[in-house]
Amino acid sequence: MSQLRSVKGMPDRFGDMSRALRAIEDAFAKTMRASGFSEIRTPILEKAEVFQRAVGESSDIVHKEMYAFKDRDKKQTYLTLRPENTASVVRALLQAGMLDAKHDEKHFYIGPMFRRERPQKGRYRQFNQCGAEYFGCESIHADIDVLFTADLFLREIGVKNFKLVINSLGNPESRARYNTMLKNAAQIFADEWCADCQTRLEQNPLRIFDCKVPGCRALLPKLPVLTDALDEHSKERFTQVCLGLKTCGVDFEIDAHLVRGLDYYTDTVFEFVVDEGLGAQNTVLAGGRYDGLSQAMGGPSLPSIGFAAGLERLVYVSSLGLASGQEGPALYLVAADPMGREQCMKLHSQLRRKGLNVQRDLRERSVKAQMKDANRCAAKFTIVIGEREARAQIGRCRNMASGENLDINLDLEAIIEAVT
Ligand code: ATP
Ligand code: MG
Nearest CA to ligand 1 atom 19: 310
Q: What percent of the chain has pLDDT over 90?
A: 75
117 Cβ below 6 A of ligand 1? yes
Domain stops at, among 323, 351, 367: 323
Q: Is residue 10, in this structure, part of any structural domain at all?
A: no
Across the range 309-326, mean pLDDT stands at 87
Can you give the pLDDT at residue 162?
Answer: 96
Across the range 310-324, mean pLDDT stands at 88
Nearest Cα to 286, choosing from 315, 265, 316, 256?
A: 265
In this prediction the pTM is: 0.90
- Name the β-bridge partners of 125: none
Domain count, the chain: 3
For 252-293, write each residue's pLDDT tens digit. 999 988 887 666 788 999 999 998 777 888 999 999 999 989
Q: Is residue 362, in this structure, part of any structural domain at all?
A: yes
Nearest CA to ligand 1 atom 22: 310
The atom of ligand 1 lying closest to the CA of 260 is: 6
Nearest CA to ligand 1 atom 12: 286
Average pLDDT, the chain: 93
Greater confidence, 134 or 263? 134
Across the range 128-144, mean pLDDT stands at 97
Domain stops at, among 291, 323, 355: 323
| Domain match, 386 and 296 both | no
Q: Is residue 9, in this structure, part of any structural domain at all?
A: no
Task: List own/partner pairs for 123-128 with CB under 8 A and 24 or more apart.
Answer: 123/281, 124/9, 124/10, 124/11, 124/312, 125/7, 125/8, 125/9, 125/10, 126/7, 126/9, 126/10, 126/11, 127/310, 127/311, 127/312, 128/21, 128/25, 128/310, 128/311, 128/312
127 Cβ below 6 A of ligand 1? yes
pLDDT at 408 over 80: yes
84 Cβ below 6 A of ligand 1? yes
| Domain match, 50 and 118 both | yes
| Domain match, 300 and 402 both | no
| Domain match, 185 and 311 both | no
Ligand nearest to the CA of 281: 1
The atom of ligand 1 lying closest to the CA of 271 is: 18
Q: Is residue 391, in this structure, part of any structural domain at all?
A: yes
pLDDT interval class at 199 (50, 70, 90): confident
Nearest CA to ligand 1 atom 10: 84
For 42-93, write each residue's pLDDT tens digit. 999 999 999 998 887 777 788 889 999 999 988 999 999 999 999 999 999 9
Q: Is residue 2, in this structure, part of any structural domain at all?
A: no
For 156-194, write each residue's pLDDT tens digit. 999 999 999 999 999 888 888 888 888 888 888 888 999
Contacts of 19 (CB under 8 A, 6+ apart): 324, 326
| Domain match, 308 and 349 both | no
Helix 232-247 to helix 140-156 angle (10° resolution) is 40
Containing structural domain, residue 219: 175-230
| Domain match, 313 and 339 both | no
In one-letter notation, the amino acid at residue 269 is: V
Q: Which helix (H) or strand (E) holds 38?
A: strand 38-39
Q: Is residue 404, in this structure, part of any structural domain at all?
A: yes
pLDDT at 403 over 70: yes
The atom of ligand 1 lying closest to the CA of 119 is: 27
Can you give the pLDDT at residue 173?
Answer: 85
Q: Is residue 371, in this structure, part of any structural domain at all?
A: yes
Ligand nearest to the CA of 269: 1
Across the range 88-110, mean pLDDT stands at 95
Q: Is residue 317, in this structure, part of any structural domain at all?
A: yes
| Domain match, 209 and 350 both | no
CA of 382 to the centre of ligand 1 (A): 46
Domain stops at, among 323, 345, 378: 323
| Domain match, 149 and 223 both | no
Nearest Cα to 288, choosing from 271, 273, 300, 310?
A: 271
pLDDT at 348 over 80: yes
Can you give the pLDDT at residue 261?
Answer: 64
| Domain match, 337 and 317 both | no
Nearest CA to ligand 1 atom 8: 283
Mutational test site, ligand 1, from 283, 290, 293, max ligand atoms within 8 Å of CB? 283
| Domain match, 65 and 189 both | no
Greater confidence, 223 or 366? 366
CA of 349 to the centre of ligand 2 (A): 49
| Domain match, 139 and 30 both | yes
User: Residue 371 belongs to a domain with what CATH number?
Assistant: 3.40.50.800
| Domain match, 161 and 298 both | yes
pLDDT at 19 over 80: yes
User: Residue 94 belongs to a domain with what CATH number?
Assistant: 3.30.930.10
313 Cβ below 6 A of ligand 1? yes
